[in-house]
Structure 1
Amino acid sequence: MNSKAVRDAFAGYLFLLPALIVFGLFIAEPLVNSIILSFHRYDVITPAVFVGLDNFVKFFHDTRLGTVYGNTIEFVLILVPLHLIMGLLLALGVTKVVSVKWKYIFRTAFYFPVLVTTAAVAVAWVYMYDFNFGIMNYLLSLFGAAPIPWLNDPHWVYVSVAIFSFWKFVGNPFLYYLVGLQNIPKSLYEAAEIDGANATQSFFRITLPMLTPTIFFVLVVTLIGAIQIFDEPYLITGGGPGDASRTISLYIYEQAFQNHAMGYASTVSLSLFIIILAITIMQFRFSSRWVSYDQE
């Protein structure tokens, strides 16, 4: 290898160094520690004690895991389609707005909740969901509907969290879709219009195929976020009533910081890591069947 190639390689690794340091400190090192702790009993106060496979045996006999993983799956089935579809519809709507002023207003309105601290707005939403004095039940009463126990009914807590999550986080997929739509060449639509294609045909033959890389990115990010959902149920329902809205991330938090069972919490977190890793690998493996990166 000549000196120029060595210098180029050194420069490349030098540029990668900050990212590698961050990866090592905040991803690789915690992952290794989680694997090590999963073989120990550790309560933060006393030194860790090696227990072998005891935490894994407990994991396979933990009856609550079925409930919390079931809740997590329900949130995934609700939130992923909601954010994927509604984010796209909002982005399509904004692109159709002719006025630059109104485009700016809509973009700001849809993305602004993402910038607001989740804990701060969650307090307001809890009051809005109040059975007796909340604005949600007040609006229902205007149409003659009976009040809904948004936060106390095991069936309605999913809807409550989904509504809050949509309002708070739909701005992210909306922004990704908006950027993706703006990158589609206008000449394609002009050619389609000359050929006699209507709006529906242009959408399914041009917009969707050209938008598949963005859809794939949004799907991966949204799915990972939904599987790890923590903020919404923690701040809105606290995981209740009972375990009705307790997700796997909430359960890990409970085991680690309330029960001080760091070893067992690490074991459960490893199961979550393996599931997310497997799903993500499958998504990338099958993406070639429907994602098109050809922009010509």
Structure 2
Amino acid sequence: MNPLVSVIIPVYNVVPYLDRCLHSVREQTYTDLQIILVDDGSTDGSSAWCDNYVRIDERAMVIHQANGGLSAARNAGLSKAKGEYAIFIDSDDHIGPQHVEHLIRCSLQTGKPLIVTGGTTMYTDQIIDSEGNEQQNDIQTQWYPLERALEATVSLDLPFRSHAWGKLYAKELFPELHFPKGKLYEDQFTLYKVIYQAGGVQYESANDYYYTIDRPGSIVNANPRGKLDFLQAITEEWRFIAQHVPTVAPFVERRYTLALIDTYDTFVRSHERQHIDELFRLVCTNRHNALLHQPDLDRRTRLHYLMTLLGQKGYHRFLLSRR
């Protein structure tokens, strides 16, 4: 008997994208699925879409709840998961027809509890041809031991990231899959703990998760609140890694150095006053370490840390002159 996979799909005001997303789930070559739709207080008709889908697919169920954000929706879905494995799909994205099959096959062949694949960027009007490149038989796999896998959570050089999607989680990892309510970049708060629990990551190269990059209203990196949440996530990860896997701490520390100056710059350019003094204090505290003990910092970041020697007002003038 094939293992059951719980597919958790948070839904909030995504009517233009739901058909594409749900169609891609229905077309999966791996059919032993529990499909959990979490309607997170939608007001645009997405709730009715979810109810209609449950009527046409007996594997599906829907949870209707007051709006609590992506973390709350994912956590609610996990609370109803009955599968031996779980995957997440964001409702404005979609998956290739063999997405679940590729992940499950890799898990069964390797016995690893955490299987990951990369994502492929897509636009809102693109559709994947199920008869096209998805019928892959030459998928490569690679084991990333704990240290290397944790590096991926703060690096852009490896083929997977700290997103909740594009990953197959064995049930033994479910207790670590708790996302902080009310936070942006909620994945960054969570995935390093899951990787630590799993002891590493098994990567498979299908890269058949398709994420939408041009949806109006989606969260963008220039959001000051998002930057602050990301900085908090990296700070917490740095502390955790320094305690549990200290050999990886320098990689996370470097990401903190980048995130800190980037967060401060975003607050200055957006004229946000809240948190600005505390952020500048953190930048100055980290300046010595950044300039003298991180020789691989890029020139831009190094310059920005140097210019903070001008003081807060002087650095602001420097930043605003470079628009």
**TM-score normalised to structure 2 length:** 0.25
Larger radius of gyration: 1
Ranked by relative contact order (alpha carbons within 8 Å, sequence separation 6 or more), the top structure is 1
TM-score, length-scaled by structure 1: 0.26
More helix by share: 1
